[in-house]
Each structure stands twice: as structure tokens, then as C-alpha cells.
Amino acid sequence: MKARLTLGSLMLAAALLAAAPAAGLAEQHEEVANPDVKCLKCHTKNLKKKLEDGERMSLRVEVGEFEGSAHSVIGCTGCHRDIGKAKHPSREPIASARAYSQAQNENCRHCHEARFTDYEDSIHASLAHEGDAGAPLCSDCHNAHAVQSMAAYEPVTGEPCKTCHESIYEAYSQSVHGLAVTNGNVIRESHVQAPICADCHQAHSVSAVAASDHLKNTCLECHEGASLAHEQWLPNAGMHLDSISCPACHSPMAERRVDLQLYDRLEQVPMGRGDKHQSVREHVAAIDAEGDGLDPVELWKLVRRASRDGDGADVVLRGRMEVTSGVDAHRIAPRGSAVRSCENCHEGNAKAFQNVTVSISKPDGRKQRVSAESKVLSSPISVDSVGGFYAPGGTRIKLLDGVLALAIFGALAIPVGHIALGKIIRKKEKDQ
Ligand code: HEC
Ligand code: HEC
Ligand code: HEC
Ligand code: HEC
Ligand code: HEC
Ligand code: HEC
Ligand code: HEC
Ligand code: HEC
Ligand code: HEC
């Protein structure tokens, strides 16, 4: 068994070196010549090492798994580069299993530069660097000693994302997409595969969902005809699709809310990205000390302070309707059950408009939120800051509601009508 491992490793390594032009693999030669058998003499035993945090780390490596992995060709010291060069065992203290893992994962960079760089840009990596022990390192998604070929990433099981995002996986697996994947389905004419987690979020450069419009764009890459399809029945479809997240209509049972995000109209970016506007973030955290939700006066004050401390930002609030639960965002249902009727959102006390939050972006793109009273959408005090976001049933726009009612029950389905309506609405807003 051990002999086979060595011989197999050497033969494969030779073949690999002959075939691989990659610069990262160049140093491998010398290391593979240092046979793994030596290491495994000790590391198949049940050795344990006491760590500084008091835990005992098992030092046993499963030979069978390693041998069957994509990495048997590079040998132990392909990754454990320091070992073999110095005296071993070194008895160097190790703070914790996590700290050791983090240090060892740095070695992946030598051979997988591109993946490493993608990962470094991700929300997972920034959380890991901040010390969040729940955020995945390379070896949380790829077992370091049993890296499988990609064919082993059985999409139906949700691996490796399911390990940590279990309830999202459960919701996803019952969605149109999850069911289509389970059934081996492929979209009719275009032969587009139904998406798994990594198709919408990426596997390595996973970013915060609120960071930009990237998810919407991903949907539209597969569903090329969707923008046009919505124009057939939804007036001002482009505006609706910009200000309502896709799951807010396509996950019909989901609870919805309106989020008002502090936004810099000058730079066209959410406030707070990339470590900016720290003091404004502090205002947001402090302003609703009673925790009863921002009232219109508090919101007005917040916007004023944000303008004052915002390094020249032209501060507005950008409204967006979204689902309240990240789990519900994955319950995408067949088109027949999507939210369609205008009353759902445009009736005086439509539920989605009762639930309001105000947010600022954290440096990593996630939102820091504070809840607000629903009247901030319509009160004359805060309405100016709420910019163009049209809140149905609000006092400022009684006239608009009338126009809308006409539109809904009248002949709105013709595009010319929408444009005219849009103009009326905008004029009305300017007049106020
Ligand atoms: C693909 C890179 C890679 C290869 C190849 C590799 N290791 Fe590791 N090893 C790691 C990483 C990363 C860790 C840190 C633990 C983790 O993150 O899972 C680790 C941890 C260890 C540990 C500490 C105990 C543990 O499991 O956490 C031992 C012992 C070890 N490796 C021995 C070996 C031996 C012996 C071989 C060859 C048979 C080998 N390794 C091959 C990457 C590798
Ligand atoms: C003579 C037995 C022996 C051999 C041979 C051996 N190790 Fe170890 N190894 C140990 C012991 C014992 C420890 C625990 C050291 C400690 O407690 O500080 C250890 C620790 C480790 C660790 C955990 C991190 C650390 O440095 O403490 C890794 C990784 C590791 N060995 C990899 C290897 C690799 C790779 C080889 C082959 C190049 C190898 N070992 C050869 C006995 C051995
Ligand atoms: C959150 C989970 C996750 C993390 C963290 C992760 N990966 Fe991956 N990795 C995947 C998935 C899923 C795939 C397969 C799908 C894909 O390539 O999009 C993959 C594929 C790969 C591949 C195969 C690529 C190919 O072209 O076939 C390599 C190499 C790789 N990862 C290396 C790394 C390295 C190095 C790190 C750390 C810097 C890392 N991964 C971190 C989930 C992860
Ligand atoms: C010394 C170079 C080297 C290091 C270091 C290294 N790898 Fe690899 N890795 C390889 C080679 C070579 C392959 C096999 C490529 C192939 O089969 O196309 C591979 C394959 C993989 C694959 C499977 C890709 C596939 O398509 O089957 C993953 C995932 C992966 N490595 C992740 C990691 C992770 C995670 C680390 C760090 C813990 C790491 N690698 C460290 C050289 C390395
Ligand atoms: C069809 C595309 C798509 C697929 C497939 C998908 N997601 Fe999502 N994901 C989204 C959208 C859209 C959102 C929410 C965007 C928003 O709130 O506006 C989201 C949100 C999330 C969030 C943030 C949740 C929160 O609480 O804010 C996580 C984590 C996540 N997804 C993980 C996963 C995992 C794990 C899988 C696979 C089981 C997966 N996603 C599959 C599109 C997708
Ligand atoms: C080892 C655990 C772990 C694994 C594995 C993992 N994640 Fe995460 N992920 C986290 C943690 C922790 C966070 C930050 C807290 C949160 O938002 O749930 C996070 C955050 C996210 C976010 C950002 C959510 C937001 O608030 O914007 C997305 C998207 C995401 N993960 C997708 C994935 C995908 C896709 C995979 C598989 C390729 C995956 N994760 C695998 C632990 C993990
Ligand atoms: C205001 C609610 C609403 C929003 C927002 C919305 N949709 Fe739809 N969508 C619907 C309804 C209702 C249908 C069904 C129309 C029909 O069958 O006549 C539909 C149909 C679809 C279809 C199938 C129809 C086709 O022929 O392409 C896809 C795909 C789709 N939407 C994707 C999206 C995406 C992607 C987004 C986000 C960019 C989105 N939708 C935003 C309500 C909405
Ligand atoms: C990788 C390509 C891909 C991505 C990305 C994608 N979809 Fe899909 N989607 C599909 C496929 C394929 C189907 C058809 C499944 C089937 O056969 O029933 C589908 C079905 C749907 C349906 C049901 C359509 C119907 O006819 O009933 C809706 C709604 C939908 N997707 C919305 C979305 C939304 C919203 C997003 C982004 C959050 C998204 N999709 C992202 C490929 C994709
Ligand atoms: C899922 C909720 C939802 C549904 C369903 C919906 N809308 Fe809207 N609509 C909104 C939101 C949110 C806005 C505010 C967007 C903004 O001002 O940025 C809006 C704005 C409008 C506007 C104002 C446009 C402007 O230029 O400011 C009109 C007109 C309108 N909707 C008509 C309709 C009609 C007609 C229907 C039914 C065919 C419909 N909407 C269905 C949520 C919805």
C-alpha cells in the first residue's frame, strides 16, 4: 500500500510536470521527491497535539482519502512547505485549530493564484480576516486532505454551501430552480441549466447580496427575455424592476418591506462602502435609541447629519422593496403564482409599505439597518429626503393615487399611457 502510494505519486507527478506549464507548479519537483511514506509512518497513528487554547488536535491523516484526492500528486510537502526543510516535529506552539488552518490555507495561493485572489475579494474572506470563526476558509469547502475532483460537487446536495446555510438550501431545493436541478432539467429552447448556489453567488468571489445589482443582473443573464416579458403587463417595468427585488414578486408568500438606503447621488454609490462615512454609520446606530422606529423628524435629522458629515456626498434615500427573510428570497415559484395584481402594493394600506427600514452600507457591503415608522414614506417632513420613491396611499400623493386607480382600472396597458403617467407623476412631485 505504502509502496503503491509512493510509486503512484511519483509517476503522476512526473506526468503532471511534463504536462503543466503553470509556473506555480515548478517548485514541485524537489518536494515530491521527498516521499510521503516518511510522513505517513507517523501520521497514520493516533497522534494528538495539545494546542494553546487547550484543545487537542488529531494529527492523523486518512491515507486512503489522500491517495484518492486530486492532491496525491503534489505530496504532503506540496502544501506543508516548511516541513521537511526544518527539523520535524518542531514542537512549535499552535494557538488554535482555526489559527493553524488559516495559516495553512495561505499555501493554496502558490498553485491556485486565481482562485485565491477571487476568494480574497469575497465577503467570506473579509469575515474570516475580521476573526469570524464561522466564515469558510478554502479547506472548509475543500477538505484539505481529500480534495475531490469537481465532478464530486454533486449540485443536488448543495455541497459545500449547505453546511453553513442549511435553511437557505432547504428553501432553494423546493424552488423552481432547485426542483429543476434535481430533475436534471434544462430550459427549453436555450439549454440553460437551472442555477445552483454558485451560479448566482459565485463560489469564490461571493459578495454581500446588498452590495450592488449583481444578483438582478445574474437573473437577467439567464432570463434574457424577462425584461421584455414584464413590459407586456407592467407599466414602467424598468422602474419597477429597479426598485423591487425579483424575489419580492417571485417568492409570493414572502413578507416584504421597503428599505430606504442612504445613497450618494453624486458618486452614485451607497453611503458607507469601503470604510467611508464611519461617523454617519454611528449616527444610524445611535439615532433610534428607544428602539421604537424612526419617526419622520428623526429621519429628517439623520439625513441632515449625513449631509453634514458625509464628505461632500449628495445624500438621498433610495427606496427599494425587498423580502424580509434571506430564506424566503430562495423560494422562487413558477410564474403563475408570481405577485401580479397592482392592489397588492398600490392599495392605501398595502402591507409591504407598513414595514420600513432605513439602512447604510457597512464596509463589506452588508446593510446596517434601523426600523422606521411607515409614515416616513408620506409625511411632509421626511418626504423630500425620500426623493422619488412613490409610496402609495401617502398623503402627499392623493392625486397620484387617483391617477393610479385610473391607470389600474383604465387602459393603462399601452406604453404611451405609462410614459404620460410617469410625466404627470414626476411633475406632481416637483410641484410639491
Ligand atoms: C492541499 C494541501 C495539503 C496537502 C497536500 C496536505 N495537507 Fe496537511 N493540512 C493542510 C491544511 C490546509 C491543514 C490545516 C487543517 C485544515 O484546514 O483542514 C492541514 C493540516 C495537517 C495536519 C494537522 C492536523 C489536521 O488535520 O488539522 C497534519 C498532521 C497534516 N496536515 C499532515 C499532512 C500529511 C501527512 C500530508 C500528506 C499525506 C498532508 N498533510 C498533505 C493542507 C494540506
Ligand atoms: C517521527 C514521526 C513524524 C514524522 C516522520 C513526521 N511527523 Fe509530522 N508530526 C509528528 C509529531 C509528533 C507532531 C506533533 C508535534 C508537536 O506536538 O509539537 C507532528 C506534527 C505535524 C503537523 C502539525 C503542525 C506542527 O508542526 O506541529 C504537520 C502538518 C505535520 N506533522 C506534517 C508532517 C509531514 C508533512 C511530514 C513529512 C514530511 C511529517 N509530518 C513527518 C511526527 C512526525
Ligand atoms: C464557500 C466555499 C468555497 C471556498 C471558501 C473555496 N472554494 Fe474552491 N470551489 C468551491 C466550489 C463550489 C467549486 C466548484 C464550482 C466552481 O468552480 O464554481 C470550487 C472549485 C475550486 C477549484 C477547481 C476549479 C476548476 O477550475 O475546476 C479550485 C482549484 C478551488 N476551488 C480552489 C480554492 C481555493 C484555493 C480556495 C481558497 C482560496 C477555495 N477554493 C475556496 C467552493 C469554495
Ligand atoms: C503545490 C501545488 C498545489 C497546492 C499548494 C495546492 N494545490 Fe490544489 N491542486 C494542485 C494540482 C496539481 C491539482 C490537480 C489539477 C488537476 O487535476 O487538474 C489540484 C487540484 C485542486 C482541486 C480540484 C480541482 C479539480 O478540478 O479537480 C481543488 C479544489 C484544489 N486543488 C484546492 C486546493 C486547496 C484548497 C489548496 C490549499 C489547502 C490547494 N489546492 C493547494 C496543486 C496544488
Ligand atoms: C437564482 C439565484 C440564486 C440561487 C440559486 C441562490 N441564491 Fe442566494 N440569494 C439570491 C437572491 C436574489 C438573494 C437576496 C437578494 C435580496 O435580498 O435582494 C439571495 C440571498 C442569499 C443570502 C443572504 C441571506 C440574507 O439573510 O440576507 C445567502 C447567505 C445566500 N443567498 C446563500 C445561498 C445559498 C447557500 C444557495 C444555495 C443553496 C443560494 N443562495 C442559491 C439568489 C440566489
Ligand atoms: C463554513 C461556513 C460557510 C460555508 C461553507 C459557506 N458560507 Fe456563506 N457565509 C458564511 C457566514 C458565517 C456568512 C456571514 C453571515 C451570514 O450572512 O450568514 C456568510 C455569508 C454569505 C453570503 C452573504 C450574505 C449577505 O448578508 O449578504 C452569501 C451570498 C453566501 N455566504 C453564500 C455562500 C455560498 C454560495 C456558499 C457555497 C459556495 C457558502 N456561502 C458557503 C458561512 C459559510
Ligand atoms: C412586480 C412584480 C414582479 C417583479 C418585480 C418581477 N417579476 Fe418576473 N414576473 C412577474 C409576473 C406576475 C410574471 C408572470 C407573467 C405572466 O405569466 O404573464 C413574471 C414572469 C417572469 C418570468 C417568466 C416569464 C418569461 O417569459 O420570461 C421570469 C423568468 C421572470 N419573471 C423573472 C424576473 C426577474 C429576473 C426579475 C427581477 C429582475 C423579475 N422577474 C421581477 C412579476 C414580477
Ligand atoms: C443559470 C441560469 C439561471 C439563473 C442565474 C436564474 N435562473 Fe431562473 N430559471 C432557470 C431555468 C433553467 C428555469 C426553468 C426551470 C424549469 O425547467 O422549470 C428557471 C425558472 C425560473 C422561473 C419560473 C419560470 C416559469 O416559467 O415558471 C422564475 C420566476 C425564475 N427562474 C426567476 C429567476 C430569478 C428571480 C433569478 C435570479 C434571482 C433567476 N431566475 C436566476 C435558469 C436560471
Ligand atoms: C410588488 C409590489 C408592486 C406591484 C405588484 C406593482 N407595483 Fe407599481 N410600484 C411599486 C413600487 C415599490 C413603486 C415605487 C417605485 C419608485 O418610486 O421608485 C411603484 C411605482 C408605480 C408607479 C409610479 C411610477 C413612477 O413613475 O413613479 C406606477 C404608475 C405603478 N407603480 C403602477 C403599477 C401598476 C399599474 C401595477 C399593476 C399592473 C403595479 N404598479 C404593480 C410596487 C409595485
Under 8 Å between Cβ of 121 and 212 = no
Q: Which amino acid is at 173?
A: S
Round to whole Å and give the CA distance between 14 and 96: 36
Burial of 268 (0-12, 13-18, 19+ CB in 10 A): exposed
Residue 202 CA: which ligand 6 atom is closest? 35
Report the atom number in ligand 8 closest to the C-alpha of 187.
12
Spatial distance between the Cα atoms of 180 and 330, rounded to a whole number of angstroms = 14
Residues with CB under 6 A from ligand 6: 123-124, 127, 132, 134-136, 140-141, 160-161, 163-165, 197-198, 201, 203, 206, 208-210, 366
Structure confidence at residue 35 as a pLDDT band (50, 70, 90): low
Q: Is 211 exposed, middle or buried (0-12, 13-18, 19+ CB in 10 A)?
A: middle
pLDDT per residue as tens digits for the range 164-205: 999 999 999 999 999 988 887 655 445 678 898 999 999 999
What is the arithmetic mean of pLDDT over 204-217? 92
Distance (angstroms) between ligand 1 centre and the Cα of 145 equals 6
Q: What is the mean pLDDT of the chain?
A: 81
- pLDDT tens digits, 50-106: 999 999 999 999 988 888 888 988 999 999 988 877 789 989 999 999 999 999 999
Considering every ligand atom, which ligand is closest to the CA of 98?
A: 1
- Give the type of residue at 202: Q
**The predicted structure's pLDDT at residue 380:** 72
What is the C-alpha to C-alpha distance for residues 54 and 157, in angstroms, rounded to an integer?
A: 35
Name all residues whose Cβ lies below 6 A of ligand 4.
Answer: 16, 25, 28, 70-71, 73-74, 78-79, 105, 107-108, 110-112, 138-139, 142, 144, 147, 149-150
For ligand 9, whether the C-beta of 391 sits within 6 Å is no
Contacts of 82 (CB under 8 A, 6+ apart): none
Residue predicted with more confidence, 24 or 266: 266
Tell me the three cell numbers of residue 359.
Answer: 439602512
Residue 279 pLDDT class (50, 70, 90 cuts): very high
Mutation to probe ligand 5, out of 173, 202, 209 (largest number of atoms < 8 A from CB): 209
